[in-house]
Chain A
Amino acid sequence: MDPAAAVDPAAAVDPAGAADAGDAVRIDALEFTWRAGLAPCLAIPALRIGAGERVFIQGMSGSGKSTLLNLVAGVAVPTRGSLRLFGHELGALGGAARDRLRGDHIGYIFQQFNLIPYLSAIDNVLLPVHFSARRRARARQQGASPRDAAIALLARLDIDAASGARRAAQLSIGQQQRVAAARALIGAPEIVIADEPTSALDSERQQAFLDLLMACCAAAGSALLFVSHDQRLAAGFDRQVRMEELNRAPRGPA
């Protein structure tokens, strides 16, 4: 049997059903090492992110921001300690179940090169819908069909239908980042993770993008986990976390 089936998505998002009621992410005494034998890259005593909360995580390059996001997304597992996603201890789940949790509940925006170059913008937005039945079902609530939902999301993010039909590689960087945001938001996942999504944009457009992203997350009811080295973007978030304070791992010369 598919171990992912053991994860009941309905129970997973039901605030009353989980012990950690209301927490989307809950980290306790977490340690993470990329490769056995190396010094730990992350050591986080505690971190909680509530449902629908907007958290800004600030940290210098190399401070472990992306590593933390990999852990929350279930691509890497804690070496020690606990990381719970909607009450599910990720370290106790198999790879398939973690992949399923990610596909069902997390939208992810990279710094750049977000899109599959040979797919149209719309087909890029639809990717999570193909890998997650839950996102597919929820996308149908956003529009008549997942495709309609994708077109509506793109329109909300200022991508018209003509651009949406174009191949990803033909779009500008700014358009690509907005398509990536639409993909993260389709099917209204509980968490949207953004790993420095504005650093490839010029400064005038950074705030505009961030405003759009926040508005869309609010509309979808998604928590936003936004990572950046740029302190200026922190305004408008519910909470700000500094990697330097969060991560107790001694930072060597790498």
Chain B
Amino acid sequence: MKPFVFVLAARSAWNRRLTLGVTMAAVALSVLLLVGIERLREGARHGFAETVSGTDLIVGSRTSPVQLLLYAVFHVGAPTNNMGWAAFQAVAADPAVAWAVPVALGDSHRGFPVVGTSPGYFEHFRHGDGRALALAAGRRFDGLFEVVLGAEAAQRLGYAVGRRITLSHGTGEALLPEHADKPFVVTGILARTGTPVDRALHVSLESLEAIHLEWRGGAPVPGLVIPAEFVRKFDLSPKSVTAVLAGLHERTAVFAAQRRINAHAGEPLQAILPGVALDELWQVLGTAERVLVAVSALTAAIAIAGLVAVILAGLGERRRELAVLRATGARPRDIFALLTLEGLFVTVAGSAAGLALLLACALLFGDLLLARYGVALAAQSFAPSELARVGAIIAAGLVASMVPGLRAYRLAVADGLTPGS
């Protein structure tokens, strides 16, 4: 092939930029999809892993590890069973355990989960590369009926320190019974973490006991009313928790500690390694991911098919052009290269545009995604796995573009210098 054919193909493609531009946009969008999904997937895995990065063990009642991980850390789904306070104390007292923080779930406020915990939560919870929780405003909860908001919850609800709110019994968006007689006051708002902490409302375990004094088995006891000012006369020490987050002195002791806790004599407990549970979660989600990737690969195939159709459709009216090129010395293989290169250019330009689009999206919406979903869509350079996908699209575009290339080759040979005879 003559290098000049390269120039010719570029100018020919530029000449037909309107028609080809549409197919280029289709290629760009499919690249955006295919690479964007990969980047979001990586971002999600990274973000989830960072959320549990400071926790060595999660302990709860017996259920599937993925389920325990989901409700204890991500506040998704509902626990089937709580564990008793004695069990929590047993975990905290394990010789390998450096710190243990209780997590009690079950209440919510306007769709945001309420997390009952101990002040140790603010000390020990780690996210990212070992960062601790920090307050953006106010202070931690101290006494009864005080609540510390995650950044996202505070922003979405428009709450500031000092605001009085009531919690609902149960989780979800449905109309829930309210703990209206015992309002909470916002004492602090946490800085953003990009983890589920941002969506949570944090209260003390004692506060949770207090608002459930007149509740038994998930429903208020008829006729029983205990005004807020009298709750201190009751025993507010925690009776049960949903799960325990624990850190160890030595990470190497994790399997021994896990075995000890699983064999706990009191009630049946289960200790899980968050990383292992996350892997299991990704395995479960793997099928959905593959479907997503398959669908976006299909859009890429459709975009390339459209490209081939457009170039083929234009070939009929270009037979004169091909004859002129033949007359000036072009060989059939030059004609083949001309048409193939045109398709390749569109694919390459479309891929570049798709990657640029992805970077633009990452710059525009990256912060939003990270804040709202804890998923990092980083505006970083491209990972090998991403470039491999782009390479696959370009390769597919090249192979597909050979179809009009071959057709033009045949036309050039058959027509000679008298096309259309």
Contact = CB atoms under 8 A, between A and B. Distances in A.
Given A73-B417, A131-B4, A99 B329 contact: yes
Interface centre among A108, A113, A118, A130 (most CB of B within 10 A): A130
* Best-surrounded residue of B4, B8, B417 (most CB of chain A within 10 A): B417
B417 A116 contact: no
Nearest to A134: B329
A76 B414 CA distance: 9
A103 B331 CA distance: 9
B323 A183 contact: no
B417 A66 contact: yes
Given A73-B417, A110-B324, A131-B2, A96 B15 contact: no
Contact of B418 (A70, A95, A113): A70
A182 to B, nearest CB: 12
Contacts of B325: 116, 127
Interface in A103-118: 103-104, 108, 110, 113-118
A75 B328 contact: no
Interface in B1-59: 2, 4, 8, 11-12, 14-15
A48 B249 CA distance: 102
Give chain B's interface residue range (CB within 8 Å of chain A).
Answer: 20 to 34
B330 interface: yes
Contact of B416 (A70, A103, A117, A135): A70
Interface in B317-344: 320-321, 323-332, 334
B417 A117 contact: no
Given A117-B15, A118-B12, A76 B329 contact: no
Contacts of A69: 417
A128 interface: yes
Interface SS of chain B: helix
Contacts of B11: 118-119
A215 B14 CA distance: 37
A110 B321 contact: no
B316 to A, nearest CB: 14
Contacts of A104: 329
B324 A116 contact: yes
A67 interface: yes
Nearest to A118: B15
A73 B330 CA distance: 12
Contacts of A99: 326, 329-332
B332 to A, nearest CB: 7
A131 B328 contact: yes
B372 to A, nearest CB: 48
B321 A102 contact: no
Interface in B223-267: none
Contact of A115 (B4, B324, B417, B418): B324
Contacts of A110: 323-324, 327, 417
Interface string A5-41: 0000000000000000000000000000000000000
A113 B421 CA distance: 15
A70 B417 contact: yes
Interface string A131-156: 11001000000000000000000000
Contacts of A96: 331
Contacts of A103: 328-330
A128 B329 CA distance: 6
Contacts of A66: 417-418, 421
A135 B4 CA distance: 15
A116 B329 contact: no
Most buried by A among B11, B324, B334: B324
B37 to A, nearest CB: 38
Given A110-B323, A118-B15, A128 B328 contact: yes
Contacts of A195: 417
Interface of A: 66-67, 69-70, 73, 75-76, 95-96, 99-100, 102-104, 108, 110, 113-119, 127-128, 130-132, 135, 183, 195
24 contacts: A70-B417, A73-B417, A96-B331, A99-B329, A99-B330, A100-B329, A102-B329, A103-B328, A103-B329, A108-B417, A110-B324, A116-B8, A116-B321, A127-B324, A127-B325, A128-B328, A128-B329, A130-B4, A131-B2, A131-B330, A132-B329, A135-B329, A183-B328, A195-B417
Interface of B: 2, 4, 8, 11-12, 14-15, 320-321, 323-332, 334, 416-418, 421
Which 5 A-B residue pairings sit nearest by Cβ, starting from the closest? A103-B329, A131-B329, A118-B15, A75-B416, A108-B327
Given A116-B321, A127-B325, 18 more contacts: A66-B421, A67-B418, A73-B416, A75-B417, A76-B416, A96-B331, A102-B329, A108-B327, A108-B417, A110-B323, A116-B324, A117-B15, A118-B11, A127-B324, A127-B329, A131-B330, A132-B329, A183-B328
